[in-house]
Structure 1
Amino acid sequence: MSAAYEFVPYPFTARTYGASLPPLHDGRDPQRRPVVVVGGGPVGYCTALGLANHGVPVVVVEADDSVCFGSRAICISRRSLEIVERLGALPGFLAEGLPWTGGRSYYRDQEVLHFRMPQDAHQKLPPMVNLAQYSIEQFLLDACEKRSDLIEIRWQSRLVGIDSRDDGARLQVSTPEGDYAMDADWVVAADGGRSFVRDALGLKLQGTSYEGRYVIVDIQMESSRPTERLAYFDPDCNRGSTVLVHKQPGNVWRIDYQLQEGEDPDAAILPENVLPRVHSLLAMMGETAPWSPIWTGIYKANALTLNRYRHQRVLLAGDAAHLVPIFGVRGANSGIDDADNLAWKLAYVIQGKAGEGLLDSYSDERVYATHENLSYGTKSTEFMAPPSFAFDLMRRAVLSLAVAHPQLASLINPRQTSAITYLRSPLNAQDDGALFGAGPVAGAPLAECPVQLVAPSTSAEGPRMWAGHVTDVVQNRFTLLAFAPQPTLLQALQPQAEALLARGIPIVVLPVLDAAPAGAAAVVDAEGQLATLYGALPGAVYVLRPDGHVLGRWQGGLHAPADLAATVRHAIDKALA
């Protein structure tokens, strides 16, 4: 092998951690833990941070001694960035990640699609950033370490046994320093696609596992090429198959290519077979700079899920609960959304604010979301790697005709991940959707829009106001957004909010006004942009969940104010029943 092809390390140095062993009594951790999270990847760390934000202590048991190695998740969506911001880890993602808004697809030597994801002046965050999973984990880990008052991470701690019961679970943990048992009220399984917890509970993923194999090659190369997703169908360097290319931070490039039918997967990842293929691809792309390989791996596409994500006191999330095809970058992003959905609900149950039934809604909503993700992911997978002669014939026809008939290009679109609307959530309240004409429906995440945010001040200078976005109002609480409310509406809403606060349910009433009020928190929508985007007439109310999804909405004057705060009681009391 020539010097140009000597493998080089990633431009990242992982910190390593020694084995963590708590004080033991008779081989057991004597302290029963409210929550144990199994697995310290993106999903496990996000779950721990979400619980800590609600004041719940959590222990994370992680089998390895550092963040992950190799090429795994590399694309983080806008929705995930919104979640990461609420968890306190966003700055690193934006400082290091490479934002992108679209991509190009080629059939042989012709461009057949140039797609762009939704991006306009309303948006606070880019639709996607490219960031390697080792950096994703490190930034989340850094945030966890800042919350050491509530988050304990036990490294080199491998789960080797679990006894799930109606009132909790007994866990058996093995470390280089010794083995021990620990008890937990709740267990979150975030231990990945080869989940020990899932297997130990006898749970089986259902769905489709595709036969095709894909090789991953990470290389280091300087290039001025913009950051965008590149797909090559039937290129000269990989005839009959597909190649994907993503630019990453640190001059790292991720290349995924499909193996030909009959190729030996073990032989396919040997350097003598991988590197000439990469060289041919780069030559086809017109990239002439020196490059060096970093890492190679192999995978296949899966479209699999459990039917339920709650089993007694064990909750499964991320790849432990579902395996989604990588096309459309739904894997890590769907797992981060799992964590966001789960954390506030589990915290409310632990703190006695809701009954265990609230956790069934976690399963209901996220299983629904997985089926939505699988629907799009399966379509993309079958286009990337046709599973039959008929599919292959269709793909060839679409690709060959797309240049002359641009309307066919939508069939090539990779359908990048987007936030899921829980249309059939058991938590959704009545929605006066027909009276709005615009805006997020019950179960939907918030639509973004710039606003001014106002916080009350005790100083003589008056309220403090700053530029922000509507997603900034999403905190660890329920929120009532009351658009241009009359004083009578606010007078009716505030006592109900106070009654919920007295029950321990955090909630705030925020009027949406065209100017800053005196001495009160508010959202200022001076130009009426937010009201137009949300289809809100004066007196309209949106009720938001702690994860930013809409619980319900009403236009003004059509319902008694009691119905508005009752939306929150519906979500909580239904679970207590």
Structure 2
Amino acid sequence: MVHCPDTSPRPSTFYDYRVHPFRAPDELRGGAERHSVAIVGAGPTGLLTAIGLAQHGVHSVVLAQDVQVSHGSRAAVLVRRSMEILQRRGVVDPFAGKGLPWSGGRSFYRGQEVYRMTMPHEEGQRHPPATNVQQQYIEEFLSDVAEREPLIDLRWGSRVTSFEQDGEEARLGVDTPEGAYMLRASYAVAADGGRSDLRRMLGLRMEGRAYSGRFVIADIRIDLPLPTERLCYFDPDWNPGNNVLVHRMPDSLWRIDFRLPDDETPEQALEPELLRQRIELTLRMVGHPLPWTLDWATVYSASALTLPRYVHGRLAFVGDAAHLLPIFGVRGANTGIQDSDNLAWKLAYVLRGLGGPGLLESYSDERVEAVREICEEAGKSTRFMTPPSRGYRLMRDAALSFTLSEAFTKDLLHWRTARPHDYRTSLLNSDPAADAAFTSGPRFGAPVPDIRLADGSHLLDHLGPDFHLICFGDGDTQGMGDLLKAARRSRIPLRVLLLRREGTPPATGYDAQVEDTGSNVADRFGALPGTAYLVRPDGHVCARWLRPEPAALKQALAVACAAQE
């Protein structure tokens, strides 16, 4: 059966959908090359995985079932951690240029403001807590990078119809507008979304909870004189017992989410006249009943589900193919972006012979643990936003009624925004005793903060796709010379960054160095002269020492790569 994707540009009031041409690959002309990695799905997670692999010199084939980017705003909020990952991938500029930054929101109950949320933001942090940008743009920006990258073969209009694997390779049956072929790859990545065909082909089932409540997302074009913030309305007159969310997006687009009555079907909710009435009631509720145009609408339900394992032989699952998370707290795409960041370097190291057989399993271990924590946390928000039973609804409504006069229940309205995960139990971490000797700073497993440095740069500007050893002192601190020699002998790619004490002369032998004026960074890291942090390619600390020894560095690198030196 020939795959025939829709080549009519999707309708939109603001976005010019581009139809990408199908180009026949070598396999349709009899080629039988085995590729390094085949990635199924060209959404944000799949594309970022390919871009991450390319940074490590690994070629990949990305199979996009459609010939244009996705329809609708969908994953529309990037949190700071996602922007930092985009920063390290070298692709953040269009996101920062197009997106709308924000840091808080307000909640209302029966027309009265009852809670104001402010997300943490420190002076000197480069990216805001959250950035609104529609998924169309996310995919456009990333696919443009992929199209320019010689190590990425982005194949539009290619649908995977079969999958099989053995100890040597994965084989994917691919259907296209010009016929079918077999794609061979050393490894495959399933980034094919919440309705993953690859998950179905392997007969895998998710664990967790699917919630009964349904929500409508409606993207409308309108000029509202409101700031960029999250607005949540509980129990509005026109939607009693339910709630409404309102978000500003680029291009005068506003996103409205509202919960449906329990007995209403998706088909009824999307009936044009009923949808129009509800949108206009929402606009009256926010105080601006202005002219508007519908761009896109859909119905979704909230789930907190995950596969128990993300690696199955030569196939790794990422993003919504691996887990389905509630929209509250903007966890879906942001969690998938962290998946791709974790997987890309590990898969590259295995293919390059730098990582042991347990390195890919560590991707599954770390990310499953992270997502289980997210499911537990997200469940609290979801049960508050969409109570699963009469008892939960009674408790939720009681808590809301208290917010009108009391402060002690207001924190229940916090939506527990997506955050970077701390891999504190990872088997890739080393020297717990050395880690425990610190009184402050990012512990092992935590991501490195993107601190602004004295020269105006930020810390992540100096951390590329390799392992990094961040050293503190003057370059001649006792023991630093031996540590630097050990770093140079490592077969694992390792760059050494010196954060030099203020007033000391430049040192030799380091890959980069920045003067730490006022010991700002050293204080944040709990560092003394001679202290060192070992940072993984995904920006997470895997070891730290107040007084490191060369043997400890060698062992920590081996542990972090699941290898033996």
Normalised-by-shorter TM-score class: over 0.9
Question: For residue 457 of structure 1, what is the aligned residue in structure 2?
Answer: none
Is 2:471 the counterpart of 1:482?
yes
Cα contact 1:451–1:467 (8 A) shared by 2: yes
Q: CA deviation at 1:69?
A: 1.1
**SS of the residue 2:251 aligns to:** helix
Q: Distance in 2 between matches of 1:263 and 1:164?
A: 44
- 8 Å CA contact 2:446–2:541 kept in 1: the answer is yes
Are residues 1:507 and 2:500 paired? no
Q: What is aligned with 1:17?
A: 20
Aligned to 1:568: 557
CA RMSD of aligned residues (A): 1.7
Residues 477 and 530, structure 2, Cα contact 8 Å, conserved in 1 = no
State how 1:336-485 maps to structure 2 within 5 Å.
336-431=337-432, 432-452=434-454, 466-484=455-473
Does the alignment pair 1:303 with 2:294? Answer: no
Structure 2 CA distance for partners of 1:177 and 1:383, relative to 1, 3 Å: same
Are 1:477 and 1:508, in contact at CA under 8 Å, matched by a contact in 2?
no
Range that drifts further, 95-104 or 427-436: 427-436
Question: How does 1:71-220 map onto structure 2 within 5 Å?
Answer: 71-147=73-149, 149-220=150-221
Please tell me the residue identity of whatever aligns with 2:493: I
After TM superposition, the score normalised by the length of structure 2 is 0.94
Shift of the 404–537 alpha-carbon distance from structure 1 to 2, 3 Å rule, reads farther
Aligned mates of 2:473, 2:299 — CA distance in 1: 56
| Structure 1 residue 373, shift from structure 2 partner | 1.2
Q: Which residue of 2 aligns with 1:33?
A: 35
- The residue identity in structure 2 corresponding to 1:489 is G
Q: Which residue of 1 aligns with 2:3?
A: none
* Cross-structure match for 1:491: 481
1:190 deviates by 0.3
Contact kept in structure 2, 1:439 and 1:447, CA below 8 Å: no
1:537 corresponds, among 528, 538, 546, to: 528
Are the equivalent residues in 2 in contact too, given 1:357–1:576 (CA < 8 A)? no
Can you list the C-alpha shifts for 1:516-548, whole angstroms capped at 9, x where unaligned? 643642132101221221122222211111110
User: Cα deviation per residue 1:461-491 (whole Å; 9 max; x = unaligned)?
Assistant: xxxxx42112223211111111215433221
C-alpha deviation, 1:565, in angstroms: 4.1
The partner residue of 1:48 within 47, 50, 54 is 50
Contact map agreement 1:449 1:529 (CA 8 A) in 2: no
- 1:35 and 1:59 in contact (8 A); partners too: yes
Amino acid at match of 1:141: S
The CA distance in 2 between the partners of 1:515 and 1:546, in whole Å, is 30
Contact 1:513-1:522 within 8 A present in 2 as well: no
Query: Which residue number in structure 1 is paired with residue 540 of structure 2?
Result: 549
How much identity, in percent, do the aligned residues show?
44
* Residue range with higher mean Cα deviation, 27-36 or 43-52: 27-36
Alpha-carbon deviations, 1:391-421, whole Å to 9, x = none? Answer: 1111112111123222321111001111010
What code does the residue aligned with 1:484 have? Answer: G
Q: After the TM superposition, list the runs of 4 or more consecutive aligned residues in structure 1 that deviate by more than 6 angstroms.
A: none
Contact map agreement 1:448 1:470 (CA 8 A) in 2: yes
Greater shift, 469-478 or 157-166, is seen at 469-478
Provide the C-alpha distance between the structure 2 equivalents of 1:377 and 1:141, rounded to a whole number of angstroms. Answer: 30
Rounded to whole Å, the distance in 2 between the matches of 1:544 and 1:137 is 29
> Hey, what does 1:314 align to over in structure 2?
315
> For the residues of structure 2 that align with 1:449 and 1:401, how far apart are their CA atoms?
40
* Secondary structure, aligned partner of 1:238: coil
Q: 1:576 to 1:203 in 2, by over 3 A?
A: farther
Deviation, 1:504, is: 4.6
**Contact 1:101–1:128 (CA<8 Å) still a contact in 2?**
yes
Distance of 2:131 and 2:456 partners within structure 1? 23
Are the equivalent residues in 2 in contact too, given 1:219–1:295 (CA < 8 A)? yes
CA deviations 1:127-171 (Å, max 9, x no partner) are 110000000011111111221x10111110000011122221111
Check conservation: 1:72, 1:132, Cα contact below 8 A.
yes
Q: Which residue of 1 aligns with 2:7?
A: none
Gaps of 5+ in 2: 1-9
Aligned CA distance change for structure 1 residues 188 and 8 (closer, same or farther; 3 Å): closer
Partners of 2:557 and 2:90 lie apart in 1 by 26
Q: Which residue number corresponds to residue 70 of structure 2?
A: 68
CA contact (8 A) 2:44 2:337 kept: yes
String of CA shifts for 1:60-88, please: whole Å, max 9, x gaps: 01110011112310000110001111222
Farther-moved stretch of structure 1 (337-346 vs 284-293): 284-293
| 1:538 to 1:518, Cα distance in 2 relative to 1, 3 A | closer
CA distance in 2 between counterparts of 1:159 and 1:35 reads: 14
Distance 1:241 1:483 in 2: 54
Aligned length: 551
